Amino acid sequence: MSENNTRKYADTEVATQHNQLINSQQSLSLIQKRIFYLAMKQIRKGDKDFKRYYIDISDIVPGTSQDIFKRVEAELEELRKKDVKFVEKIKGEYWNSAVNLIAKSSHKKGTGQIYVDLHPDIRDMLLDLKKYFTRVPVVELIACRSTYGQRMYELLYQFADTGIRLMTVEELREKLNLQNKYENFYDFRRRVLQQAKEDIEKHTNMRFTWTEIKARKGRKIERIMFDIQVSDPVQVELPFSPDKVDMSKHKKLQENLRQICQFSDKNIRKVLRYIEEKPDHKIVFHKIIHKTEIRVKDGDQNHAKKLTNPEAWAMKMMQTTLPDFD
C-alpha cells in the first residue's frame, strides 16, 4: 500500500484523546457522539483542567426546529448516564474499568445552546497527553450518518499513518458494543462493516477495504485486516438536515404504521427514509407492525396490560432491532 499523505490538522480542528479512550467499549448514539466530540474539540494543548464547554447545535444543524431541540435535550440526559469500558493496568495487573463521560450538562430550553462539563475521571484520557494519543478530525467524524460509521472512522483513523489495522472479530465486536448481536459473520459483514464503509466513503475523507482471515482450524472468520487510505478533506456542507422523503411509496406500510402503530407523519417519514437507504430491512418493519397489532389485541382482551402508547412501543422495538435506526 502507498504511503498516506494525511493533512496536518490545526488544534482547533481535532479532538485529541488517549488511544485507550478510542479503543474502549462505547454505546453512544450518533448525536451523543457529536456532542462529546464538539466538547473535546475545545480542549487545548497544555490545558491542565477541564473547562465548561459551550456548544450551539444551531452551528451544526440547519434550522431551529423545536423537535431538534427536544431531541437534543433527551440525548443529553442519556449521555450523562453513559460510560466507556476499557482494560487498564493497576499495580501490574489488568482490571476491567468503566468511567462516565459527562459530569454535568445544561441546555437552554427551546434553543440549541448547551454547556457540557466532562467528567473528571476521564482527565488522563484527554488532558496533557504525552504519548499514545490520536488527533481525530472532528469535521470528518461528525459528518458520518451512523454510529457504526463514526466508530469505525475513529478506530481506523488511529492507524491512518501506517494504513493498516489488524483486529480480531471479537475485539471489534467489543469496541462496537456488539458482543451479542450479529453473531453470524455474514450478518456482521453486511449490517455493520459494509454499512460503515458506505457511510464513511460517502461522507468523509477515508477509504478502506478489509481482508477476512480464517482461523487455522475451521472456517470461522477470526481476524480482520483493514487497509486504510485517508486523503486531504474536502470541505462540504454537512448533510444534517433530513432529505425529503417520497411519500408516494410504500402506501400499505404507511397505512399500517398510521392505523396499527398510531405513528405520526414525522415517524412515518423516518421509517421511509431508513428504507430508502436499506430497502432489504423493510420486512423488519412489517414484522414489528404485526407484533404491535398482537400486543394491542392482547391488551384489549385483558390478556396483558393495556397498551396505551402503541407508537412508543413500536418505536422502541425498531430502535432495539435496528441499532442504526436512530
Segment 149-179, tens digit of pLDDT: 999 999 999 998 889 999 999 999 999 989 8
Under DSSP, the state recorded for 300 is H
pLDDT of amino acid 171: 93
Containing H/E element for 310?
A: helix 310-321
Is pTM beyond 0.85? Reply is no
Long-range contacts, 223-227 (Cβ 8 Å, 24+): 223/166, 223/167, 223/168, 223/169, 224/166, 224/167, 224/168, 224/169, 224/172, 224/193, 225/164, 225/165, 225/166, 226/156, 226/159, 226/164, 226/165, 226/166, 226/167, 227/1, 227/163, 227/164
- Please, what are the domains in the chain? 10-137 (1.10.10.10), 143-233 (1.10.10.10), 251-321 (no CATH)
Give the torsion through C-alpha atoms of 45, 50, 52, 54, to 10 deg.
Answer: 30
pLDDT of amino acid 25: 84
What distance in Å separates the CA atoms of residue 23 and residue 58, rounded to the nearest whole number?
30
pLDDT of amino acid 167: 94
pLDDT of amino acid 57: 75
Assess contact for 193 and 210: CB atoms under 8 A. Answer: yes
Using CB atoms within 10 Å of the CB of residue 97, give its burial: 0 to 12 exposed, 13 to 18 middle, 19+ buried. middle
pLDDT of amino acid 61: 59
pLDDT of amino acid 9: 65
Is the four-CA dihedral 267, 268, 273, 279 of positive or negative sign?
positive
DSSP state string for 244-266: P--TTS-HHHHHHHHHTS---HH
pLDDT of amino acid 237: 42
Using CB atoms within 10 Å of the CB of residue 9, give its burial: 0 to 12 exposed, 13 to 18 middle, 19+ buried. middle
pLDDT of amino acid 243: 52
Q: What is the pLDDT of residues 69-100, one digit of tens each?
A: 777 788 888 888 888 888 888 888 889 888 88
Q: Which residues make beta-bridge pairs with 53?
A: 116
Residues of the chain with pLDDT under 50: 1-5, 234-242
pLDDT of amino acid 169: 94
pLDDT of amino acid 233: 53
